Amino acid sequence: KNQVEQSPQSLIILEGKNCTLQCNYTVSPFSNLRWYKQDTGRGPVSLTIMTFSENTKSNGRYTATLDADTKQSSLHITASQLSDSASYICVVSDRGSTLGRLYFGRGTQLTVWP
Amino acid sequence: EADIYQTPRYLVIGTGKKITLECSQTMGHDKMYWYQQDPGMELHLIHYSYGVNSTEKGDLSSESTVSRIRTEHFPLTLESARPSHTSQYLCASSDEGTANEQFFGPGTRLTVL
């Protein structure tokens, strides 16, 4: 069964600190993995995309890693800001369908305190 | 920011009412999707469309229906709303050139009393 598991479920950190969010998946055949940021009451917005051959991808203070052998990904946030408070969702796409089916994790709810 | 719009943003209605949630995109994308999301839970695909006059049911069974008469418009209708329909509904779109990246609208928060 294709699944995406994220940890931790929630996380509270102080402004300026770093944090790392985890994602494990069983989706096969794998196409790509995205991290989305979802602000409260808004739709998800893509932060990074990684394909099978990529190990790391950065977008400003966000750095994603991918280990396709162990089917694990992480999202590292550096020097957190209050605006980073949001849900971070790991989304894996399979390449076995023309639809481009996406499998969503439940997200990690990050809260950044001043 | 993606050019995909949803209205209304918030809707509170009584049981038994018919409602239509609107979704429009100006990117010319062929594929459009409707997701349902409850707090702290993953998004569940309820409907999708490959293009005009194409609609399919998603993974999660839903009593809602959709139509795709125009490329840019993908409305979702509930003929008789019930409290169990209370949820957040997210619309998204994509096309072949976006590597399966789906662009999401801001969502409609539906509450059925």
3 state SS for B11-29: EEECCCCCEEEEEEECCCC
Reduce the DSSP state of residue B42 to 3 states and report it: coil
First to last CA, chain B: 33
Tell me how many degrees the CA angle B11-A85-A34 measures, rounded to the nearest 5. Answer: 85
CA distance A98 to chain B (A): 9
**Torsional sign, CA B8, B9, B13, B17:** positive
Q: Does the pLDDT at position B1 exceed 60? A: no
CA distance A79 to chain B (A): 24
Mutation to test the B interface, candidates A104, A108, A109, most B Cβ within 10 Å: A104
Nearest to B91 by CA among B39, B38, B49: B49
- Phi, psi of A110, rounded to the nearest 5 degrees: -100, 130
Q: How confident is the model at residue B2 (pLDDT cuts 50, 70, 90)?
A: low
Q: Which two tokens stand for residue B105?
A: 């609208």
pLDDT tens for chain A, residues 1 to 114: 789 999 999 999 999 999 999 999 998 888 889 999 999 888 999 999 998 888 999 999 999 999 999 999 999 999 999 999 999 999 998 876 666 678 999 999 999 999
Please tell me the distance from the alpha carbon of residue A56 to that of residue A71, in angstroms, as a whole number: 14
